[in-house]
């Protein structure tokens, strides 16, 4: 366990605890409304409350920008977030080590599940072109990447994974209103368990509101948030697959001038 490290929000001076808030109250603009806004902040436990702005946001709505100070503090040292670091191989090298260690292509199936039609995320990872100059999985010689696109039912995704004997399944959810992403993810895990492919497959969850911790809680192997590059996912799958087969990562060639990246990943709880 790490050392105690107490922190609180920092505005202008260290330890000042300053927080800025903005919110709407469903009442017309008035001095009384302004006082109500101050009371909201005070009830949240803030002191030194300053209602910096009150605007009429419609006849019956007031918009506020409020500052205040919090006196809470927390021990940063006590926070645990699962992260696993791997060496990150450049494009050609990753193909080579996959060939050396597995002697076959790694099969990955990807889809946007449920009613989601936002394929931006899955396309960025899967498509040939990739994202931000980083090639997608389709481009890798040693990956067989199958992108099912949008609005795929969890069950259909599981069937496809079964059919092609996928090593990994990549799921993207962009729409997260009312926790739609979690419901669909749970449905997928359930379908995979029923089909008895849950244990032997690597399950990866991605999307702008997805983090590794949530993915683990939902039963996935890993979660990838915004800014993830295809090479992060590709390297993760390679290492995870080795680990799944009970093989320690063999000595890896040095990455030729490529900085190692931190890839989030962890064992299933």
Partner 1 sequence: MVRARELAQQAARGVQAFIDRHSTVAIERTVLRLLGIGGAGARGAPLANLLVDKLRDAKVLHKGAAYWLGRALRASPGRDPLQAVERVAAHPEKLPPLTPAEDAELRETLRADARAAARELREKVEKRKELKRSLQLGSFPGAPWKYVIVATGNIHDDVEQARAAAQQGADVIAVIRSTAQSLLDYVPHGATTEGYGGTYATQENFRIMREALDEVSRKLGRYVHLTNYSSGLCMPEIAYMAAAERLDMLLNDAMYGILFRDINMQRTFCDQYFSRRICAFAEIIINTGEDNYITTADADEAAHTVIASQLVNETFAHLAGMPDELIGFGHSFEIDPAREDTLLREFAMAMMVRELFPRSPIKYMPPTKHKEGDIFFSHAYDVMADLVAITTRQGIQLLGMMTEAMHNPFLMDRYVALKSAAYVYRAARHLGDEIAFKPDGIVARRQREVFDKAVALLEEVAKDGMMAAIGKARFGDTARSETGGKGLDGVFERAPDYFNPFLEILESDRTPQGAPIGAPTKGEGRA
* Sequence-distant (≥ 6) Cβ neighbours of residue 219 within 8 angstroms: 185, 186, 189, 198, 203, 268
Q: Mark whether 182 is an active-site residue.
A: no
Least distance in Å: CB of 157 to partner 1? Answer: 15
Of 187 and 266, the one with the shorter C-beta distance to partner 1 is: 187
- How many Å apart are CA 105 and CA 167, to the nearest integer? 10
CB of 26 to partner 1, least distance (A): 9
Output the smallest distance, CB 57 to partner 1, in A: 4
Instruction: Report CA-CA distances (Å) from 188 to 86, 132, 163, 237, 244.
Output: 27, 29, 16, 19, 20
CB of 64 to partner 1, least distance (A): 8
Instruction: Provide the terminal-to-terminal Cα distance of the chain, rounded to the nearest Å.
Output: 19
**Nearer Cβ to partner 1 (20/47):** 20
By beta-carbon proximity to partner 1, the closer residue of 109 and 242 is 109
Q: Which residue has the tokens 């067989």?
A: 144
Residues 6+ apart with CB under 8 A from 121: 112, 172, 174, 206, 207, 208
Binding site for partner 1 (CB under 8 A): 22-24, 55, 57-61, 63, 115-120, 123, 127, 129, 149-151, 174-178, 180, 207-209, 226
Which of 129, 160, 182, 213 is catalytic? The answer is 129
Cα(260)–Cα(255) distance, rounded to whole angstroms? 8
When the beta carbons of 63 and 198 are compared against partner 1, the nearer one is 63
CA separation for the pair 121, 223 (Å, rounded): 13
Q: Which residues are catalytic?
A: 129
């Amino acid at each position: 366990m790490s050392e105690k490290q107490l922190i609180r929000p920092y505005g202008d001076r260290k330890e000042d605890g300053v927080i800025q808030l903005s919110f709407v109250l469903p009442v017309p603009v008035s001095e009384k409304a302004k006082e109500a806004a101050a009371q909201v902040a005070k009830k949240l436990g803030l002191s030194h409350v300053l209602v910096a702005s009150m605007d009429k946001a419609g006849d019956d709505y007031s918009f506020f920008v409020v500052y205040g100070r919090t006196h809470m503090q927390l021990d940063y040292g006590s926070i645990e977030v699962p992260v696993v670091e791997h060496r990150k191989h450049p494009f050609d090298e990753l193909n080579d080590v996959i060939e050396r260690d597995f002697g076959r292509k790694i099969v990955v199936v990807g889809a946007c599940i449920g009613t989601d039609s936002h394929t931006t995320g899955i396309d960025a990872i899967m498509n040939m072109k990739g994202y931000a100059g980083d090639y997608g999985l389709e481009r890798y010689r040693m990956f067989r990447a199958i992108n099912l696109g949008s609005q795929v039912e969890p069950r259909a995704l599981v069937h496809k994974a079964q059919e092609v004997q996928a090593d990994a399944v990549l799921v993207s959810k962009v729409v997260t209103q009312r926790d739609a992403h979690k419901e669909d993810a749970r449905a997928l895990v359930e379908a995979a368990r029923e089909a008895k492919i849950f244990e032997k497959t690597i399950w990866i969850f991605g999307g702008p509101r997805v983090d590794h911790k949530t993915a683990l809680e939902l039963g996935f192997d890993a979660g990838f948030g915004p800014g993830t590059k295809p090479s992060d996912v590709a390297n993760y799958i390679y290492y995870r697959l080795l680990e799944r087969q009970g093989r320690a990562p063999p000595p890896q060639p040095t990455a030729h001038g490529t900085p190692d990246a931190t890839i989030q990943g962890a064992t299933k709880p």
